[in-house]
Structure 1
Amino acid sequence: MTEQSESTTARSHDAGIGLVELLIYAMLLAIVSSIAGSLLITGLTSQRDITAMGSATSRAQVVVASIEDGVRTASSVSVPTASAVGQRLVTRTGTFTTAGVATWECRSWLIAPTGNVYYRSAQTAIAAPNNLSAASLAGWSLLTEGVTAAPGSTAPFAVSGNTLSVSIQVSAGSDGAPALVNNRISKQSLPTTSGTGPSTC
């Protein structure tokens, strides 16, 4: 009787995993795989959004830094009436020696309806391009793309006294929220408004 019992027990242990156990394991594996896949997709999507937002922020900083550099030491800052080619910002910006001698140049930024931002500097007054063709934009440098006036603002630029307000948003595409810019840039007190270069811009 003992030998038969031991033989039966051995066969029971050797029977392996039954169909029910296999089904349970398969279901658990499917659940775990589904959760892991969902977490992976969420992580990749979040990383893509963060990367897009970081790129938009960097491009916004390029535009703002360029404008700040032109406005800080400007003797004049103006925002001409918007036209079919977009909204312009114009400054007469000086660079000064340690002795206070100034060299002036005209600088202009253009936010086109396409969202492109262009920049140009010259020793003479800068006229708006006739259109946005490559020929008309000769001499202008492309700073970035995907720029529009910030939500709630009527224009990207506004001048009040010695202060320029910049209200723009830079698109992150379909992968993230845009970078918003609402900056106020004030002109510095200048040692002189005379010197070499254009007298007006």
Structure 2
Amino acid sequence: MVLSSPPVSVSQLGETIASVLGVKAKSVKISLGEVTVVVMAGDYLSAAVLLRDAEGCKFEQLMDLCGLDYSEYKEGEYDGLRYCVAVHLLSVSLNQRVRLKVFCPDDDFPVVDSVNGIWNSANWFEREAFDLYGIVFQGHNDLRRILTDYGFIGHPFRKDFPTTGHVEMRYDAEQKRVIYQPVTIEPREITPRVIREDNYGGL
């Protein structure tokens, strides 16, 4: 049985990653005991390959990939790019982890490269980020919605997507099928009623 190597310190890992990526690393930050690397969209694929293959990195597994919408970050004070993809990588052989982030350069049409050819576990994660955030993964060979319905309109994890949605569906007895129609729910604010009892719970 082969045991993984003891982990290096977080600061050592950050230095190794910064050295391996060089100018491809826009930033390498350590916070809460975790290393986060940000790269430009044009360097995303080459940086991913280096993180997978380089000595001192060896991140063989993609554990998670998700989309992020920064449009309301810091209560509207943030003025950077809106859409981001965050990838969480694991090195089994070196017993270490890293977070890789890339921002989509166009807020109106967010596109980044697919890393499915580097880590095939990215397949459904990228489909989920496409479905929920509308981020397009260039090079993905089957980029379809995965959680919402085929006829769904919009991307429900975007900050500007209404909580009630745009349409609702119901079964129509006359047409004998499910139909879509505009949302009929009226937005309202519900304030809970507080009930106080003097002897609540027999105390």
TM-score range, shorter chain: under 0.3
